[in-house]
Amino acid sequence: MTAKKLNDSFENVETEDLQDLEGICDIKPSKPCSSLPRPKLIERPIFKKILQGQNKASFTFGALDPKDPMIGLRFDEYGFLLNHHLTKPVVRESLSVVQIREKQRKINEWRQILREWPANMGPSLVSLIEAGLPHEIRAQVWKKLTSASFPASQTHGYFDEMLSIRPRKKVVEQIDLDLPRTFPNHKIFLPELMNVCHGQDYLGQVLRAYSVHNSAVGYCQGMSYGAALLLMHFPQPEEAFRHFSFIMDGKLDRHFCHRMPGLIEDVATFAKLLEEALPKLYRHFQTEGLDCTIFLSQWWLSLFTSVPLWSTTLYAWDMLFLHGPKSLFTTALSVLSCCQDELLLLRGEGQMVPYLLNPPPEKTQPSALCHAAKLFNVDNLLARHRSAVQVRSPIRSPLSSPIKSPIRSPLRAASPRSSTKKVGRSLLDRFVDRITPRKSPRKRSLLEDEATPQIDKKKRMEGNDENVVNCIRLDVADDFKGVNGFKEFSSPARRVISFGEVDSPISPQGTELRDITRTPEIHQ
Amino acid sequence: MAGQMRKALTYKLVLLGDAGVGKTAIAVQFVKGQFNPFLESTIGASFMNQTVTLPDETLIKFQIWDTAGQERFHSLAPMYYRGAQAAIVVYDITNRNSFEKAKEWIKELQQQGDPNVVVAFVGNKVDMPEARKIQPSEGESYASENGLFFIETSAKTAENVSELFMKIAKQLPSIQRQKDITSGPSNPGVKPGVGAPSKGKGGCCG
């Protein structure tokens, strides 16, 4: 983009879009514009300054501090612009002193765990990660989770080598088309700050390198969101690339390649899992003629970046790094399970699809999904229903070196092992004791469901047994409230998924649910 | 009669076309009366509802399926256009490839879709006349050869966007009527519309 174009785009943002801010922020278009709160506008002179190249030195990643008064832009804790024309107006609660201390304590403990990271992941560490990571140390944990699995040949110069090969023209065109459309409301991808943040450049590099690295996939829309999410955590494109290939290679790439065979197989498998795990909801989908592909294609191909709550997205990614592609099934089942009661009240595609494409933030808090995930034993379910994730062909590298990645079996890869280094164990156990309940249902589900009587298991899978659900809540929820739960409640719904869909159930604040069971089909 | 309840007729409408031609932008302009130059790319498909009122007071509720444009998502497309009563096939007037791709979509709809589907052939981005590659006559002649209706729009300036949907809406009930009441009066009394459907720009009327 030339400087002029940049200026133009900025002009557009100011004069056209910001005038109509209410509309994008508003879920219900018919509401009179004047009655809505008008979010604070971006301060124009500052952008002008940036565009003229002044203050350039201070506009590094670090300088884009949420509180930097010079900039006048406000970001949430994940780096998404607050009160932007692409962002929902957000009501944020500030943390109390106690909560801040608690959060700091958790971060410090995680730092120690990171220092003493065990060679083999034990179940306690697995459950710790499942319980929720402080955002500050997330990238480091992901790094630890992947470090053992990178092919040695990929460490040095591989990324540059991939970058030096030009992808096919069609691939380049599609990538270039999507760069400015990928999280344009995040601080590193803001179109207005493009020439100081380079986020789009780096994103282009990661995607082009990957398209060469895995030429069978090339580039598919949706991948840009995953790569962009990684760049938010790993500012170096090379590192983002490595983690991206960790997620994709030999596992999810079949979801994205030509004709999407992996997606189609996995959706079919998911339907079987759903039938077994949430039979009521499955029957409801059948009655209403809803095909799982409709929502799964968006959830899975966007790698859960399409859901409104960013902390939900990050939870899904934690699980992806921890458990591999089978976590796509678990997370999707958990979301459905959390929303089941409301979904059962909705009728037809017209009501159900908007709900599913935009699941309500208050129902999909990571803590809620974590609880719900305990209700399913996806390993068992998948073992019974052959899944596409189990059959993965290794990708072909464009270089003839032995880089051809030793693809790990996704299902075996993340299975928790019992051997933990002694030093890690004692520390972990102390930590786990604090945040995990005694006789924890979490531990039980980690250690397999085999011991659970058949009836009980069935009930748990169905998620109907109130006792089971309550007992999990009682056991776990309290610990979460202080540590993670509160934070998540205060985290903003990231953005409006463009479809401001007339019947959308999410309020601008994402906190209350409108009655969408009665769509106004009848008009006076 | 005052107080008479009228039911909105619900129709499924699908947007098809190459990536980046402005399918989502057209839909968002129609539903919310807004234009955003940096709309995120559509993955899989997205969904919107919008109701329009015809001059004869008929209510038409559109269930709009906005599909992903990249070739790769093609295998998912039949799921969205199957059962659709209306389709909008969009191309970018500044991009010849997108025009060719739109023709392919038309062929596919003719072969696979519902034979009664109302198809609009739409050239988008008329706000960029300097970059135009496809002349209106070219689009028009292709449309008339194939019995489609043709219109050029700009999702950015909203030019012809509501007209596009109004035109579709006017064709829909008549098809329905022809199907339902073969012997009944065909009711040609639907006058060329003046009123745009409920849109954000001016006075909003729910």
* Residues in chain B within 8 Å Cβ distance of A10: none
Task: Collapse the DSSP code of A184 into the 3-class scheme (helix H, G, I; strand E, B; otherwise coil) and give the result.
Answer: coil
* Residues in chain A within 8 Å Cβ distance of B5: 522-524
* Residues in chain B within 8 Å Cβ distance of A258: 72
Do residues A231 and A286 both lie within one domain?
no
Do residues A289 and A373 both lie within one domain?
yes
CB within 8 Å of A138: residues ≥ 6 apart: A233, A314, A318
CA dist A27 → A87, A159, A217, B49, B53 (Å): 12, 42, 36, 12, 21
Under an 8 A CB cutoff, do A298 and B45 touch? yes
Domain annotation covers residue A82: yes
- Containing B121, the helix (H) or strand (E) segment is strand B118-124
Residues A299/A252, Cβ–Cβ less than 8 Å: no
How far apart are the CA of A468 and the nearest CA of chain B, in angstroms? 36
Under an 8 A CB cutoff, do A521 and B35 touch? no
Query: Could you tell me which residues are beta bridge partners of residue B153?
Result: none
* Residues in chain A within 8 Å Cβ distance of B72: 220-221, 256-260
CATH of the domain at A283: 1.10.472.80
Under an 8 A CB cutoff, do B46 and A497 touch? yes
Do residues A169 and A229 both lie within one domain?
yes
Of the three residues A389, A410, A440, the one that is the final residue of a domain is: A389
Question: Is B97 at the interface with chain A, CB within 8 A?
Answer: no
Query: Who has greater pLDDT, A131 or B113?
Result: A131
Residue A208: DSSP 8-state? H
Do residues A110 and A202 both lie within one domain?
no
**Location of structure tokens 């999702």:** B155
Question: Is B7 at the interface with chain A, CB within 8 A?
Answer: yes
Under an 8 A CB cutoff, do B43 and A302 touch? yes
Do residues A242 and A265 both lie within one domain?
no
Under an 8 A CB cutoff, do B37 and A24 touch? no
Contact pairs from chain A to chain B, CB under 8 Å: 154
Name the packing angle between helices A310-323 and A123-131 (round to 10°): 170
Under an 8 A CB cutoff, do B43 and A306 touch? yes
Among partner residues A30, A225, A301, which is closest to B44 by beta-carbon distance? A301
Under an 8 A CB cutoff, do B41 and A354 touch? no
- CA–CA separation, A466 vs A452, rounded Å? 17
Residues A180/A191, Cβ–Cβ less than 8 Å: yes
* Residues in chain B within 8 Å Cβ distance of A501: 31, 47-49
How far apart are the CA of A238 and the nearest CA of chain B, in angstroms? 24
Name the packing angle between helices A348-357 and A292-301 (round to 10°): 20
* Residues in chain B within 8 Å Cβ distance of A267: none
Question: Is A13 at the interface with chain B, CB within 8 A?
Answer: yes
How far apart are the CA of B145 and the nearest CA of chain A, in angstroms? 30
- CA–CA separation, A189 vs A231, rounded Å? 10
Q: What is the mean predicted confidence (pLDDT) over B85-100?
A: 96
- CA–CA separation, A300 vs A318, rounded Å? 15
Of the three residues A198, A219, A250, the one that is the final residue of a domain is: A250
- Containing B118, the helix (H) or strand (E) segment is strand B118-124
B180: exposed, middle or buried (Cβ count in 10 Å: 0-12, 13-18, 19+): exposed
* Residues in chain B within 8 Å Cβ distance of A302: 43-44
Under an 8 A CB cutoff, do B48 and A306 touch? no
CATH of the domain at A223: 1.10.8.270
Do residues A337 and A378 both lie within one domain?
yes
Do residues A245 and A275 both lie within one domain?
no
Do residues A174 and A290 both lie within one domain?
no
Under an 8 A CB cutoff, do A225 and B48 touch? no
How many CB atoms neighbour CB B174 within 10 A?
14
* Residues in chain A within 8 Å Cβ distance of B54: none
Domain annotation covers residue A395: no
Dihedral angle of Cα A260, A337, A359, A518, to the nearest 10 degrees: 120
Under an 8 A CB cutoff, do B37 and A23 touch? no
User: According to the model, what pLDDT value does residue A77 have?
Assistant: 84
Do residues A286 and A359 both lie within one domain?
yes
Could you report the predicted ipTM of this complex, rounded to two decimals?
0.83
Chain A 210-229, residues with CB within 8 Å of chain B CB atoms? 220-222, 224-225
Domain annotation covers residue A324: yes
- CA–CA separation, B33 vs B23, rounded Å? 14
A412: exposed, middle or buried (Cβ count in 10 Å: 0-12, 13-18, 19+): exposed
Domain annotation covers residue A21: no
Name the packing angle between helices A97-115 and A138-147 (round to 10°): 20
* Nearest residue of chain A to residue B11 (CA atoms): A350
Do residues A112 and A183 both lie within one domain?
no
How far apart are the CA of B151 and the nearest CA of chain A, in angstroms? 24
Domain annotation covers residue A132: yes
Under an 8 A CB cutoff, do B79 and A182 touch? no
pLDDT in tens, chain A (524 residues): 333 333 333 333 333 333 332 222 322 233 333 333 333 333 333 333 333 333 332 333 334 444 443 356 778 888 888 765 544 444 445 678 888 898 899 999 999 999 988 887 888 899 999 999 999 999 999 999 988 776 655 667 899 999 999 999 999 999 999 999 999 888 899 877 777 778 999 999 999 999 999 999 999 999 999 999 999 999 999 999 999 999 998 789 999 998 899 999 999 999 999 999 999 999 999 999 999 999 999 999 999 999 989 999 999 999 999 999 999 999 999 999 999 999 999 999 889 999 999 999 999 999 999 999 998 888 888 888 864 444 444 444 444 333 334 333 333 333 333 333 333 444 455 544 444 443 333 333 333 333 333 333 333 333 333 333 333 332 333 333 333 333 333 333 443 333 333 333 333 333 333 333 333 333 33
Domain that holds residue A286: 261-389
How far apart are the CA of B158 and the nearest CA of chain A, in angstroms? 12
The length of chain B in residues reads 206
> Domain spans of chain B?
10-31+84-173
Question: Is A35 at the interface with chain B, CB within 8 A?
Answer: no
Domain annotation covers residue A29: no
Chain A 275-294, residues with CB within 8 Å of chain B CB atoms? 291, 293-294
Beta-strand pair B45-53/B9-17: unpaired
CB within 8 Å of A502: residues ≥ 6 apart: A28, A29, A30, B31, B48, B49, B50, B51
Under an 8 A CB cutoff, do B8 and A521 touch? yes
Do residues A222 and A163 both lie within one domain?
yes
Chain A 339-358, residues with CB within 8 Å of chain B CB atoms? 349-350, 353-354, 357
Beta-strand pair B59-67/B45-53: antiparallel
Question: Measuring CA to CA, which residue among B154, B135, B133 is closest to residue B143?
Answer: B135
Q: Which of A170, A192, A499, A522 to mutate to test the interface with B (most CBs of B within 10 A)?
A: A499
- What proportion of chain B, given as a percentage, has pLDDT over 70? 81
Question: Is A72 at the interface with chain B, CB within 8 A?
Answer: no
Domain annotation covers residue A14: no
Do residues A231 and A266 both lie within one domain?
no
Question: Ramachandran region of residue B57, left (φ > 0), alpha (ψ -120 to 50) or beta?
Answer: left
* Nearest residue of chain B to residue A20 (CA atoms): B34
Query: Could you tell me which residues are beta bridge partners of residue B47?
Result: B65
- CA–CA separation, A433 vs A421, rounded Å? 18
- CA–CA separation, A446 vs A121, rounded Å? 13
Chain B 10-29, residues with CB within 8 Å of chain A CB atoms? 10, 19-20, 24, 28
Question: How many distinct structural domains can be found in chain A?
Answer: 3
- Listed in sequence order, the DSSP H helices in A261-418 are 261-277, 279-288, 292-301, 310-323, 326-343, 348-357, 366-373, 378-384, 410-413
Of the three residues A250, A270, A297, the one that is the final residue of a domain is: A250
**CATH class of domain segment(s) B10-31+84-173:** alpha beta
